[in-house]
Amino acid sequence: MRTPATAAFLFLFLGWAGCQVHDPSVTVDMLREDDAPASESWETTMMIMEEGLNRLHMRAHHMARFETPDSTWMVLSGRDDETDRVRVVLFGTEGDTSAVVTAQRIVWHERTRRFVARGDVRAEAGEERSLRSEHLAWMERTARIGTPGFATIRTPTETLSGYGLDADENLTDFTLARVTGTVLIPDE
């Protein structure tokens, strides 16, 4: 049997339990994850020109742009690993094509103007010169490419493999460490 005091206590308890401090309404910033891109686009083409000449063209199936207070970068990826990869065309100082790089994924760092390519990286340069690696970095400021890991360079007269590649964009001037390979020596 309930007494009036018990009923009053139960009423106060239920009333208090039903009252809650409500959070302010949810904002877009609250919903956005910390690691979510600031923007995304599909079938993207990015071009960089310098003094009226082409310097770099990038084409990718997907591009995600990330921003932090101290840097901005883009992650570019292809639709699949074999047929639709990220493609970058590098242009020399005269506006001519110096190399074409394809990879599964490329990260473009805006402030430093460099990209890092990863995943079955292939570079084709003039005069039947090519490069294969799993990782490749390109710096616009120095017009050099490199990788700390393993790389193979093919030219008309040699196939060289090694570590610690440092090369110009045309793959004509390069260094490798712990080199193995074959060199064709012309008959005299």
Q: Is the pLDDT of residue 162 over 70?
A: yes
pLDDT digits over 34-68, tens only?
578 888 899 989 888 888 888 889 999 999 999 98
- Whether the CB-CB separation of 82 and 153 falls below 8 Å is answered with no
- Token pair for 166: 């440092």
What's residue 185's pLDDT?
Answer: 81
Q: Which of 49, 46, 29, 47 is nearest to 38 (CA)?
A: 29
Interatomic CA distance for residues 52 and 128, integer angstroms: 28
- Whether the CB-CB separation of 123 and 131 falls below 8 Å is answered with yes
Categorize the per-residue pLDDT at 153 as very low, low, confident or very high, splitting at 50, 70 and 90: very high
Q: Which residue in this structure is represented by tokens 């239920």? A: 14
What's residue 24's pLDDT?
Answer: 52
Q: Which of 127, 186, 136 is nearest to 165 (CA)?
A: 136
What's the mean per-residue pLDDT of the chain? 81
Q: Which has the higher per-residue pLDDT, 25 or 112?
A: 112
Instruction: Report the share of the chain in percent with pLDDT over 90.
Output: 39
Q: Which stretches of the chain are assigned E, i.e. beta strand?
A: 39-50, 53-68, 71-77, 86-91, 97-103, 105-109, 114-125, 129-139, 144-154, 158-168, 174-183
What's residue 81's pLDDT?
Answer: 61
Interatomic CA distance for residues 170 and 98, integer angstroms: 5
Q: Which has the higher per-residue pLDDT, 82 or 163?
A: 163
Q: Is the pLDDT of residue 71 over 70?
A: yes
Q: Could you give all domains of the chain from N- to C-terminal order, each with its CATH number?
A: 36-183 (2.60.450.10)
| Mean pLDDT for the stretch of residues 9-22 | 47
What's residue 78's pLDDT?
Answer: 86
- Token pair for 49: 């020109």
Q: Is the pLDDT of residue 21 over 80?
A: no
What end-to-end distance do the CA atoms of the chain give, in Å?
118
- Whether the CB-CB separation of 97 and 90 falls below 8 Å is answered with yes
